[in-house]
């Protein structure tokens, strides 16, 4: 008997094939079709992320998200702002945690403000002419794609001690992310953490998770930038418009600034998908 389809993984696999198709079509100078398949690849990664992070359910993807990848990021930011409010309450509950190096690096108050600024941007982003971004704007977005490599999270040397001595903070932190789903689960974990062998096992796995987390977050940010560039091309790359006198075959020619930069966008999308795959397939037994 055939196993049921894993819808989430299938979306990611189709996204990879769409990206491969985009490269082939670009090399053949079928530029509108190449743009369309790259847009589709970005869109399917977004839908994969929506399911992976439980932002939307499978039946909601077509009704609530459709071709508008920005809805994923708006919903994600709204959820993160709520989570950040929960985390700030945790720091208030354990005031001495605010004196740690970890708190200074995380800077949750600034992070919350940045999330709100990002949400404000997303609410107005469609006011811009994203289909006709000029070369300088495209180059600015490419610089952002590059600079993501320089974004890193350097965990402090005191992290091991914090894990060992302040594990109750860690548990509440995990709860705020929805990684611990009930009071019973939290209680069970607290009981298990009294065993030193389990504590070492648990925190080693947690540190491995945190090791891959920065690359994952950077990749999600790259997907967001690529969504800015390609979301509005979902229709225009496929259809002519007689009323607007728009012909995709002449619009997406080899002199178009977007077309000139397509290989760069393909490479960054490939990198982002690889990092997301690595994060979701961490081998905790290594």
Chain segment 167-226, per-residue pLDDT in tens: 666 666 666 555 566 677 767 777 777 777 877 787 778 777 777 877 888 888 899 899
Q: In this structure, is the dihedral angle defined by the CA atoms of residues 139, 222, 11 and 47, taken in order, positive or negative? A: negative
The answer to whether position 257 is within a domain reads: yes
- Weakest mean pLDDT among 22-31, 43-52, 185-194: 185-194
Q: Which residue carries 């019973």 as its tokens?
A: 184
Residue 2 domain-assigned (yes or no): no
Alpha-carbon Rg of the chain, whole angstroms? 22
**pLDDT-wise least confident of 29-33, 45-49, 168-172, 182-186:** 168-172
pLDDT in tens, 244-285: 999 999 999 999 999 999 999 999 999 999 999 988 888 777
Estimate to the nearest angstrom the gap between the alpha carbon of 36 and the chain centroid: 21
Query: Looking at the predicted structure, is the pLDDT value of residue 26 above 90?
Result: yes
On average, the pLDDT of the chain sits at 82
Pick the closest to residue 286 from 208, 219, 186, 197 (CA basis): 208
The answer to whether the beta carbons of residues 257 and 135 sit under 8 Å apart is yes
Would you say the C-alpha torsion 39, 45, 49, 51 has a positive or negative sign?
positive
Distance CA 278, CA 71 (A): 25
Task: Give mean pLDDT, residues 124-128.
Answer: 79
Element holding 265 (H helix, E strand): helix 262-280
Q: Which residues contact 197 (CB under 8 A, 6 or more apart)?
A: none
Q: Give the global pTM.
A: 0.81
Domain of residue 221: give its range: 7-280
Left (φ > 0), alpha (ψ -120 to 50) or beta: where does 33 sit? alpha
pLDDT at 10: 92
Tell me, yes or no, whether 190 lies in a domain: yes
At 106, list the tokens: 């995380």
Number of domains in the chain: 1
Neighbours of 91 (CB within 10 A): 19
For residue 145, being part of any structural domain is answered with yes
Who contacts 259 (Cβ-Cβ below 8 Å, separation ≥6)?
A: 31, 34, 35, 252, 253
For residue range 53-73, what is the model confidence (pLDDT) as tens digits?
888 888 888 877 877 888 888
Nearest to 206 by CA among 249, 239, 169: 169
Q: Is residue 142 part of a domain?
A: yes
DSSP, collapsed to helix, strand or coil, labels residue 41 as: helix
Question: Is the pLDDT reported for residue 106 higher than 70?
Answer: no
Residue 286 lies in a domain: no
| Residues 6+ positions from 151 with CB-CB distance below 8 Å | 214, 218, 221
Instruction: Evaluate whether residue 47 is within a structural domain.
Output: yes
217-233 tens-digit pLDDT: 888 889 989 999 999 99
CA-nearest of 76, 94, 95 to 84 is 76
Q: Is residue 83 part of a domain?
A: yes
Q: How would residue 157 be classed by pLDDT, with cut points 50, 70 and 90?
A: low
């Amino acid at each position: 008997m055939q196993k049921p389809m894993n819808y989430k993984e299938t979306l990611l696999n189709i996204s990879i094939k769409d990206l491969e198709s985009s490269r082939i079509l670009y090399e053949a100078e079928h530029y509108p079709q190449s743009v369309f398949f790259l847009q589709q690849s970005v869109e399917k990664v977004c839908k994969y992320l929506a399911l992976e992070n439980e932002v939307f359910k499978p039946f909601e993807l077509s009704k609530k998200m459709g071709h508008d990848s920005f809805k994923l990021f708006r919903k994600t930011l709204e959820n993160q702002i709520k989570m950040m409010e929960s985390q700030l309450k945790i720091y208030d509950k354990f005031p001495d945690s605010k004196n740690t190096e970890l708190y200074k690096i995380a800077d949750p108050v600034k992070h919350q403000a940045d999330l709100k600024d990002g949400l404000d941007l997303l609410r107005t982003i469609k006011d811009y002419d994203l289909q006709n971004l000029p070369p300088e704007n495209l180059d600015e977005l490419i610089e952002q794609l590059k600079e993501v490599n320089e974004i890193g999270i350097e965990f402090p040397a005191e992290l091991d001690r914090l894990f060992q001595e302040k594990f109750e903070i860690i548990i509440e932190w995990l709860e705020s992310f929805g990684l611990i789903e009930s009071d019973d689960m939290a209680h069970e974990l607290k009981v298990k953490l009294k065993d030193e062998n389990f504590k070492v096992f648990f925190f080693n796995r947690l540190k491995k998770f945190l090791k891959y987390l920065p690359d994952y977050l950077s990749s999600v940010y790259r997907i967001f930038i690529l969504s800015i560039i390609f979301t509005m091309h979902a229709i225009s790359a496929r259809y002519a418009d007689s009323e607007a006198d728009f012909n995709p075959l002449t619009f997406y020619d080899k002199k178009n600034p977007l077309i000139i930069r397509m290989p760069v966008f393909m490479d960054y999308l490939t990198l982002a998908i690889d990092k997301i795959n690595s994060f979701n397939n961490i081998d905790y037994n290594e």
